[in-house]
């Protein structure tokens, strides 16, 4: 009970710090959508403003309450997650319709009942995108890469997964789909590049079942993981913790690499980094040079966020595997993530090639926030490595 209280206090403080701007933008978007929907309804029946705005105000609050109390009332958290997507797509579609209307007016053209048709079209497209996105997110694709790295010995197959976000949305059933997909690829090594959990272990319905599914992943040379920014055991007054996460991964047969290097076989090493910005925790971690000092052989690095690829190449890494970006998860967010990680000297998705190092960034095997994917895929990445 005490932990729950302090968790709520911390979240409230975080929201209050940003509240003026957050509520101004959020409230403005909600009012814009509500105003357009009210006009749409009035084409069918006369609607008193109060009869519309009171229930709409309750929807307005779903996202807020979902964030404050979602750890106790999971239906609020899930409703809030879907509401984010509805809000985004309704706003974009209605704004696009207003832009088109403005262009038509500039050219002296007027379409009767344009607002009605625009609102109807926006509603239809939004509902279609939500249904499609929910179904599509649960379908896990397989993506293949063939790489040549310096080294010798038998070729290896690495299967990379990331961003499982096990919590209120992703549970045993989703993890089973991931494990089955991974095992079908027949990997030698499995790498999990962070955000395995979603910040609160207490909301997982069947944690033993999740552990069983993680344990079912089969790789002769081992399953290795680094942590991501969401891999914390819920915010508390004393800050976020990771001890239980480490214990869970160990019980699932997963080797957690936390700023350390592990030998896979002769002249082949795998390193895992601490996350650059873990939520509610000290972000201190080894530099690439400190992590890879005195390593003789081929080095594979697991780094959740693809933000230090040039530095890792300079330090001697041969292959870096990352996640975090989700490739934007929902179009058009991927247009922004592409630009953000390009500025960091990496990519938001796919293959990165330097002079002496290669990198792979996956869109992730699950979701965060809205349990939807539009314009992106949930995936497992198969990397066939040959030596030169």
Q: What is the CATH number of the domain that holds 248?
A: 3.60.21.10
pLDDT of residue 16: 54
Q: Which two tokens stand for residue 223?
A: 């399953």
pLDDT per residue, tens digit, the chain (388 aa), is 434 444 444 455 555 555 677 778 888 888 899 999 988 888 888 888 888 888 888 777 766 666 555 555 677 778 778 888 999 999 999 999 999 999 998 888 888 889 999 999 999 999 999 999 999 999 999 999 999 999 888 999 999 999 999 998 899 999 999 999 999 999 999 999 999 998 888 888 899 999 999 999 999 999 999 999 999 876 544 455 788 899 999 999 999 999 999 999 989 999 999 998 876 665 688 999 999 998 989 999 999 999 999 999 999 999 999 999 999 999 999 889 988 888 888 899 999 999 999 999 999 999 998 999 999 999 999 999 999 8
- From its phi and psi, is residue 181 left (phi > 0), alpha (psi between -120 and 50) or beta? alpha
Shared domain check, 150 and 112: no
Chain CA centroid to CA 301, Å: 20
Shared domain check, 101 and 164: no
Shared domain check, 321 and 237: yes
Shared domain check, 58 and 161: no
Shared domain check, 194 and 113: no
Task: Provide the domain count of the chain.
Answer: 2
The 3-state DSSP class for residue 71 equals coil
Shared domain check, 177 and 121: no
- From its phi and psi, is residue 159 left (phi > 0), alpha (psi between -120 and 50) or beta? beta
Shared domain check, 350 and 314: yes
Shared domain check, 105 and 204: no
Distance CA 379, CA 59 (A): 32
Range of the domain at 219: 142-387
Last residue of a domain, one of 135, 151, 176: 135
Helix ranges restricted to H, the chain: 2-41, 49-69, 74-106, 114-137, 172-184, 207-215, 243-251, 288-291, 309-315, 333-343
Using alpha carbons, select from 296, 287, 376, 281 the residue that is nearest to residue 328.
376
Q: What is each CA distance from 260 to 243, 270, 272, 361, in whole angstroms?
A: 17, 9, 6, 21
Shared domain check, 147 and 89: no
The DSSP line for 113-149 is THHHHHHHHHHHHHHHHHHHHHHHHTSEEEEEEEEEE
Last residue of a domain, one of 135, 166, 195: 135
Distance CA 159, CA 317 (A): 18
Shared domain check, 223 and 110: no
Shared domain check, 129 and 150: no
């Amino acid at each position: 009970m005490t932990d729950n209280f302090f968790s709520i206090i911390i979240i409230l403080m975080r929201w209050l710090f940003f509240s003026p701007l957050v509520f101004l933008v959020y409230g403005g978007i909600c009012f814009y959508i509500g105003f357009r929907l009210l006009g749409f309804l009035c084409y069918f029946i006369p609607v008193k403003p109060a009869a519309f705005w009171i229930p709409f105000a309750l929807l307005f609050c779903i996202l807020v309450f979902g964030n404050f109390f979602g750890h106790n009332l999971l239906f609020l958290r899930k409703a809030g997650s879907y509401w984010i997507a509805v809000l985004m797509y309704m706003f974009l579609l209605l704004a696009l319709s207003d832009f088109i209307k403005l262009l038509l007016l500039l050219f002296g053209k007027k379409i009767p009942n344009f607002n009605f048709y625009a609102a109807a079209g926006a509603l239809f497209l939004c509902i279609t995108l939500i249904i499609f996105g929910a179904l599509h997110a649960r379908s896990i694709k397989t993506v293949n890469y063939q790489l040549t790295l310096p080294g010798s010995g038998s070729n290896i197959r690495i299967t990379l997964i990331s961003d499982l976000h096990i919590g209120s949305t992703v549970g045993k059933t989703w993890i089973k789909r991931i494990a089955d997909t991974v095992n079908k690829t027949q990997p030698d090594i499995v790498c999990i590049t962070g955000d395995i959990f979603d910040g609160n272990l207490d909301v997982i319905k069947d944690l033993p079942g999740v552990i069983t599914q993680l344990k079912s992943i089969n790789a002769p040379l081992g399953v290795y993981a680094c942590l991501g920014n969401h891999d914390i055991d819920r915010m508390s007054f004393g800050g976020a913790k990771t001890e239980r996460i480490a214990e869970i991964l160990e019980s699932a047969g997963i080797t957690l690499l936390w700023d350390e290097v592990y030998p896979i076989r002769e002249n082949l090493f795998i390193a895992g980094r601490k996350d650059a910005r873990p939520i509610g925790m000290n972000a201190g971690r080894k530099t690439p040079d400190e992590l890879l000092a005195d390593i003789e052989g081929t080095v594979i690095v697991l780094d959740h966020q693809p933000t230090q690829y040039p530095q890792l190449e300079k330090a001697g890494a041969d292959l870096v595997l990352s996640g975090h970006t989700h490739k934007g998860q929902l179009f058009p967010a991927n247009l922004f993530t592409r630009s953000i990680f390009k500025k960091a000297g990496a990519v938001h998705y796919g293959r990165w090639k330097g002079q002496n190092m290669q990198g792979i960034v996956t869109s992730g095997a699950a979701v965060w926030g809205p349990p939807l994917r539009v314009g992106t895929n949930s995936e497992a990445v198969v990397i066939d490595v040959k030596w030169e």
